[in-house]
């Protein structure tokens, strides 16, 4: 009986990446196979290096375009006459760091994002799971959510100022609103599309309703939650910058708008680039955390073409 | 051959009926089905698609409540799923976010068994299925046959008295299937479980079972109960013996009638020659 089982593992088909230990090195066929494997790895690395080269080219291209347009003050319908050059902005970056004003503005924006986005996660994920799992909760909350959802967070600015005691809280509220709905809706969608056979499997393995949430539903919707976070952080930044420009004191959005009022062209560009960088870092952090939290996704089918 | 595991794991289905609503009309899916799986017995349910065999299995699993009748496990009424009944599904049902070993440990974890103990029993089971070297792989890294082997040992981890299997090898290729059937008989003999196995594959049901229940097309009733007295352990060579072939023919004839009726219309044996089926005005709907 036992003899059948080892046979099975080869008959059932060996999966990729599960190569058995190599046999004696003297075997010429094995040697060529090893060579082929090495050549294949090199080809892969070359492709990865080529990819990195293209990325560098992409960023350098953008910088070059900016440089050429501003250095030669191009005018063709669009006017680059007043746009600062990359060197101007770099110089401004050094200059603003003589005092703590700029970095404080950056920090205040980051703090607002972390607070608003954090509260959005804490509310939207559990709510989304409950709405997705229980019909009663869905019928009770979704109609209201569907009415509030189409209102852009920026349209909430005047109302928000009336609602909350301080400007600071109202800006955080706007940031929260911007990320809340993408996270909520993606979570709901994740729960409703979770393969029911997984829930059944857990049930007949003895999982209680509470265990089901922790051990099956939460990990099962994790990919959609992270999709929601990726979309949500983008909307949160859009909302935050708009709110800072309209009602703000402090923050990168306020810094940029103030620069415009003071006709400080280099600071406008510096503010914009800072916003872009902060957004990039936030998305990057979410992607890295996502990969850490969902190690199984690295092995899923698909990937880069 | 009835092996006994201390008399535990007796499934009784008593006069079970299932109805559901379709387009405002009541449809009888299963009608008055009674069957018994003795402790340690391997029983197959076979029938044309849509005959309610999976529904019956889902009732025993506790996922579906029958409209009438009752099902019992060792004299206790079945009302919901529980770890005393291991279930292996037709679709792959491993948790993709857990490694192979953590999947096998899942049931024990739900019972609060401490980690080191879970690990030991999971590794023992994986060794039995020839998958110990894959314990830290994720399900997406496994082939279909490997996934189903993990699915089987995961269902066994909580030491259930019965194993319920819903066309578990339906998605596998023919060669893998045959090997999986051998593995299953080995596991079954080792664990002395009662097994209720749903399939539409005649050879598979004969190769595995002590007893086969043939179901009619909808509404699903028990059409015949067939005892398989082939010696154990079963070997692939047996499939060509006269006894095996005779059983195959008997079952094929029984199921053919039902398949024709399940396909709808007035399909009759002999009338298929010149595609000469007569589909009446009430056609498919009348039979469905």
Contact B179, B130 (CB under 8 A): no
| Residue B204 belongs to some domain of the structure | yes
B166 plus B26 within the same structural domain: yes
What pLDDT is stored for residue B272 in this prediction? Answer: 55
Neighbours of B192 (CB within 10 A): 15
Residues B141 and B279 in one domain: no
| Residue B259 confidence (pLDDT) | 79
Contact B189, B214 (CB under 8 A): no
- Residue B282 reports pLDDT greater than 70: no
Contact B130 A9 (CB under 8 A): yes
Q: Which domain holds residue B107?
A: 91-158
Instruction: Let me know if residue B32 belongs to a domain.
Output: yes
d(CA B58, CA B30): 12
Q: Are A125 and A225 in contact (CB under 8 A)?
A: yes
CA distance A286 to A228: 10
Instruction: Identify which has the larger pLDDT, B122 or B278.
Output: B122
Bridge partners of B14, per DSSP, are: B70
pLDDT tens-digit map of B213-254: 999 888 888 888 999 998 888 888 888 999 999 999 999 988
A204 touches chain B (CB under 8 A): yes
d(CA A125, CA A129) in angstroms, rounded, equals 6
B89-128 pLDDT, tens digit each: 988 899 999 999 999 999 999 999 999 999 999 999 999 8
More confident residue, B270 or A297: A297
Of A4, A204, A299, Cβ closest to residue B81: A204
What is the distance, to the nearest Å, from the Cα of residue A250 to the centroid of all Cα atoms in its chain?
25
Length of chain A in terms of residues written: 305
Domain boundary among B158, B180, B200: B158
* Average pLDDT over all residues of chain B: 86
For residues A113 and A240, is the Cβ–Cβ distance under 8 A? yes
Average pLDDT, stretch A136-163? 92
On the question of pLDDT at A29 being above 80, the answer is no
Banded pLDDT at A171 (limits 50, 70, 90): very high
CB < 8 Å & 24+ apart, contacts of A145-152: A145/A181, A145/A184, A148/A181, A149/A181, A149/A185, A152/A239
Q: Which of A5, A18, A198 sits opposite B130 (nearest CB)?
A: A5
Q: Find the closest chain A residue to B189 by CA distance.
A: A1
B26 & B72 share domain: yes
B153 and B108 in one domain? yes
Nearest to A8 by CA among B178, B207, B232: B178
State residue B49's pLDDT score.
80
Q: What is the pLDDT of residue B269?
A: 59
- State whether residue B149 is helix, strand or coil: helix
Structural Rg of chain B based on CA atoms: 20
Residue B3 belongs to some domain of the structure: no
Domain-located, residue B4: no
Residues B76 and B124 in one domain: no
B33 to chain A nearest CA, in Å? 23
- The answer to whether residue B154 sits within a structural domain is yes
Asked whether residue B207 falls in the same domain as residue B111, the answer is: no
CATH assignment at residue B253: 3.40.50.300
- Does residue A302 belong to the interface with chain B, where contact is any CB pair within 8 Å? no
Q: Are residues B31 and B145 in the same domain?
A: no
E strands within chain B? 11-22, 25-37, 42-46, 68-73, 76-77, 85-88, 162-166, 194-199, 211-215, 222-227
Q: What integer is the mean pLDDT of A128-133? A: 95
> Which range (A45-49, A96-100, B172-176, B266-270) has the least confidence?
B266-270
Chain A residues in contact with B85 (beta carbon < 8 A): 204
Question: Does position A299 have pLDDT exceeding 80, yes or no?
Answer: no
Give the domain-ending residue among B100, B125, B158.
B158
Q: What digits encode the pLDDT tens for the residues A41-84?
A: 888 888 888 888 999 999 999 999 999 999 888 888 888 888 99
Residue A16 at interface with chain B, using a CB cutoff of 8 Å: yes
A18: contact with B, CB 8 A cutoff: yes
Q: Give the pairing type, strands A75-76 and A78-79.
A: antiparallel
Among B22-31, B34-43, B151-160, B161-170, which stretch is predicted with the lowest mean pLDDT? B22-31
Please name the residues in contact with A111: beta carbons below 8 A apart, sequence gap of 6 or more.
none
pLDDT score recorded for residue B200 = 87
Report d(CA A1, CA B233) in Å as an integer: 9
Greater pLDDT, A212 or B219: A212
Q: A201 and B143: CB-CB below 8 Å?
A: no
CA–CA gap between residue A173 and residue A112 (Å, rounded): 9
pLDDT of residue A2: 40
pLDDT band for position A8 (50/70/90)? very low
**Higher pLDDT pick, B37 / B5:** B37
The alpha-carbon gap from B36 to the nearest alpha carbon of chain A, in Å, equals 21
Q: How far apart are CA A236 and CA A238, in angstroms?
A: 6
Please answer yes or no on whether B83 and A206 come within 8 Å at the CB atom: yes
Nearest-angstrom CA–CA distance, A11 and A46: 35
Confidence class of residue B163 from pLDDT cuts 50, 70 and 90? Answer: very high
Beta-carbon neighbour count of residue B18 at 10 Å?
Answer: 23
Confidence band, pLDDT 50/70/90 cuts, at residue B67: very high
Across the range B65-75, mean pLDDT stands at 91
Name the residue among B213, B160, B149 with its Cα closest to residue B183. Answer: B149
Range with the poorest average pLDDT among A137-151, A165-179, B7-21:
B7-21
In a domain, B5, yes or no: no
Residue of chain B nearest A6, judged by CA positions: B130
Is A216 touching B (CB cutoff 8 A)? yes
CB-CB neighbors (< 8 A) of B139 in chain A: 296
Domain end among B158, B179, B206: B158
Q: Are residues B16 and B153 in the same domain?
A: no
Are B66 and B164 in a shared domain? yes
Specify whether the CB–CB gap between B152 and B184 falls below 8 A.
Answer: yes
A205 touches B at CB < 8 Å: yes
Asked if pLDDT for residue A185 goes beyond 90, the answer is yes
- Report the gap between the CA of B265 and the closest CA in chain A (Å): 34
Instruction: Note whether B183 and B244 are same-domain residues.
Output: yes
Residue B97 and residue B217 share a domain: no
Chain A residues closer than 8 Å to B138 by CB: 295-296, 299
Give me the residues paired with residue A87 across strands.
none
User: CB A11 to CB B97 under 8 A?
Assistant: no
SS3 category, B43:
strand
Q: Are residues B189 and B265 in the same domain?
A: yes
B149 in any annotated domain: yes
Interface test with B, best of A11, A201, A300 (most B CBs within 10 A): A201
Q: Identify whether the C-beta of residue B171 lies closer than 8 Å to the C-beta of residue B90.
A: yes
What tens digit of pLDDT does each residue of A77-125 get?
Answer: 888 888 999 999 999 999 988 888 899 999 999 999 999 999 999 999 9
Number of residues assigned to chain B: 288
| CA distance to partner chain A, nearest, from residue B141 (Å) | 6
Which pLDDT does position A144 carry in this prediction? 93
CB B106 within 8 A of CB B184: no
User: Is B60 within the bounds of a domain?
Assistant: yes
Count of domains for chain B: 2
């Amino acid at each position: 009986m036992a003899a059948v089982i080892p046979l099975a593992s080869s008959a059932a088909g060996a999966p990729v990446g599960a190569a058995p230990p190599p046999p004696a090195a003297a075997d010429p066929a094995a040697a060529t196979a090893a060579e082929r494997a090495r050549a294949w790895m090199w080809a892969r690395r070359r492709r990865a290096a080529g990819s990195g080269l293209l990325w560098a080219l992409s960023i350098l291209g953008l910088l070059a375009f900016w440089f050429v347009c501003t250095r030669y003050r191009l005018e063709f319908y669009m006017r680059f006459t007043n746009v600062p050059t990359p060197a101007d902005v770099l110089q401004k970056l050094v200059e603003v760091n003589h005092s703590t004003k700029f970095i404080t503005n950056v920090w205040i924006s980051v703090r607002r994002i972390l607070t608003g986005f954090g509260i959005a996660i804490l509310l939207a994920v559990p709510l989304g799971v409950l709405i997705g799992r229980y019909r009663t909760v869905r019928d009770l909350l979704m109609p209201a959510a569907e009415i509030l959802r189409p209102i852009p967070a920026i349209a909430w600015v005047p109302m928000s100022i009336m609602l909350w005691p301080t400007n600071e809280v109202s800006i955080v509220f706007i940031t929260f609103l911007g990320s809340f709905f993408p996270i909520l809706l993606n979570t709901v969608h994740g729960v409703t599309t979770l393969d029911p056979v997984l829930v059944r499997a857990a049930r007949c393995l003895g999982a209680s309703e509470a265990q089901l949430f922790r051990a099956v539903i939460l990990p099962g919707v994790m990919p959609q939650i992270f999709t929601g976070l990726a979309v949500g952080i983008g909307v949160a930044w859009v909302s935050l910058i708009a709110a800072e420009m309209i009602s703000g004191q402090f923050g990168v959005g306020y810094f940029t708008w103030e620069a415009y009022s003071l006709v400080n062209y280099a600071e406008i560009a510096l503010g914009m680039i800072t916003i872009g960088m902060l957004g990039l870092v936030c998305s990057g952090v979410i992607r890295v955390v996502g990969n850490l939290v969902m190690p199984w996704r690295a092995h899923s089918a698909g990937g880069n073409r | 051959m009835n092996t006994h595991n201390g008399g535990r794991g007796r499934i009784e289905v008593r006069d079970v009926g299932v109805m559901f609503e379709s387009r405002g009309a009541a449809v009888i899916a299963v009608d008055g089905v009674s069957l018994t799986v003795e402790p340690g017995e391997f029983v197959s349910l076979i029938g044309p698609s849509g005959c309610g065999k999976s529904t019956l299995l889902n009732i025993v699993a506790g996922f579906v409540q029958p409209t009438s009748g009752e099902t019992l496990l060792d004299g206790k009424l079945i009302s919901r799923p529980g770890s005393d009944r291991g279930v292996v599904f037709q679709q792959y049902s491993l948790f993709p976010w857990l490694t192979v070993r953590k999947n096998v440990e899942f049931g024990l974890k739900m019972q609060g068994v401490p980690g080191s103990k879970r690990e030991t029993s999971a590794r023992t089971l994986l060794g039995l299925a020839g998958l110990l070297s894959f314990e830290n792989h994720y399900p997406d890294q496994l082939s279909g046959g490997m996934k189903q082997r993990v699915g089987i040992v995961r269902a066994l981890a909580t030491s259930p008295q019965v194993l319920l299997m819903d066309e578990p090898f339906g998605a596998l290729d023919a060669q893998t299937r045959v090997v999986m059937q051998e593995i299953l008989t080995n596991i079954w003999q080792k664990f002395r479980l009662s097994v209720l196995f749903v399939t539409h594959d005649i050879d598979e049901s004969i190769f595995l079972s002590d007893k086969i229940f043939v179901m009619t097309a909808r509404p699903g009733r028990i059409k015949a109960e067939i005892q398989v007295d082939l010696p154990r352990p079963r070997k692939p060579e047996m499939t060509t013996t006269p006894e095996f072939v005779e059983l195959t023919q008997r079952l094929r004839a029984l199921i053919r009638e039902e398949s024709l009726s399940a396909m709808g219309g007035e399909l009759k044996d002999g009338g298929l020659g010149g595609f000469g089926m007569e589909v009446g005005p009430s056609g498919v709907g009348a039979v469905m």
